[in-house]
Each structure stands twice: as C-alpha cells, then as structure tokens.
Amino acid sequence: MRRLQTEVPGPLVCGSNGGVLDGVAASQIQNWGKHPSWSTREIPMLQRAVAKGAMFQAHGPCPVNASDPVVVNNLAAFLVAAGPHSYYMCGGWNGYTPEWYPIYDYPLGEPLGNATLVNGVYSRSFSQGTKVTFDTKTETGSIAWGAAPAIV
C-alpha cells in the first residue's frame, strides 16, 4: 500500500478495516454501523483518520428514511467525528449507480469546531444551525437540523 501510494498522484483508497497506514493518504470502512458500537468502533476510527489528515470513506447503509434510528445513529456518529476529507457513502460495490437521498439536501454548513465529549455525550454544531449529539452510554445519536432542505 505504501509503495503503491507513491505511484498514485491522489489518495489511494483500498482495504476495508478503517485503519490508516502511515504513508497512505486514505482509508475506508465498508460496514459503517454494522454493530451498535459506534462510540468504540466507528467514531474512534474516523477520529484517527482525521487526526492524520487522511481522507476517509464511511460506507454504510443507505439513509432511505431520515427518521430511522439506525440512520440517525450512523449519520450522527459520522458527523461528530468527520473532518475535511470525510465522506459518507452507501450502496453496492459492483456496477452500482449511487443514489441521492433527500437527507443529503439538508443544509449542514461548516462545523463550528470539533465535537466535545461531556459526560459521555459528543456534541457538535454546524454553521447552518444543525446540532448533533451522540451518547456513548446508550449508543444513540440525534440530529437537530437547522433548516429544512432547499427545494430545487
């Protein structure tokens, strides 16, 4: 991977365990949210990637229903840890045309800082008024969107 990264002009995304190798510019996890352990698995792996300045792709279930608790947990865990080169993706691997889900149109804006962790609860706010929390004791997230999606 390190040798191949020296031959690729951009980030090399390969592998599926979410680990970031020194000298490799990107990583991904192919089963984001597979188990209800976001605070001990997904959030820390994304935080490690962000700390290294690596691109990270969180590949998880598609957010078809924005109010589904699993969708909220997946996205809240992602949003509390995401950095400048963090991406959430869903869908198949071979010959799959990605879909655009309505939740992707909700205004988020820039983060107003990194997430804070107080009494086991991560909190993060975004410039468009969205507030995200993730409770590490109950493994549940919440997203209070700052605005409704724009209708195009």
Q: Is residue 16 part of a domain?
A: yes
Three-state DSSP state, 57: strand
- Count of the separate structural domains present in the chain: 1
* pLDDT beyond 60 at 149: yes
Q: Decide if 150 is inside a domain.
A: no
Look at residue 84 in the predicted model and tell me its pLDDT. Answer: 92
Strand-pair category, 131-135 with 121-125 = antiparallel
With CA atoms as reference, report the closest residue to 33 among 69, 86, 83, 84: 69
Domain presence at residue 34: yes
Residue 12, pLDDT score: 64
List phi, psi (to 5°) of 142: -145, 145
Note whether 86 and 78 are within 8 A (CB). yes
Residue 151 lies in a domain: no
| 99, part of any domain | no
Does 149 map to a domain?
A: no
**What is the pLDDT, as a whole number, of residue 1?**
67
pLDDT in tens, 77-124: 999 999 999 999 887 767 777 788 888 888 899 999 999 999 999 999
Q: Is residue 54 part of a domain?
A: yes
| Per-residue confidence (pLDDT) for residue 47, from 0 to 100 | 95
In a domain, 98, yes or no: no
Q: What residue numbers bound the domain in which 6 lies?
A: 2-92+104-144
Q: What does pTM read for this prediction?
A: 0.88
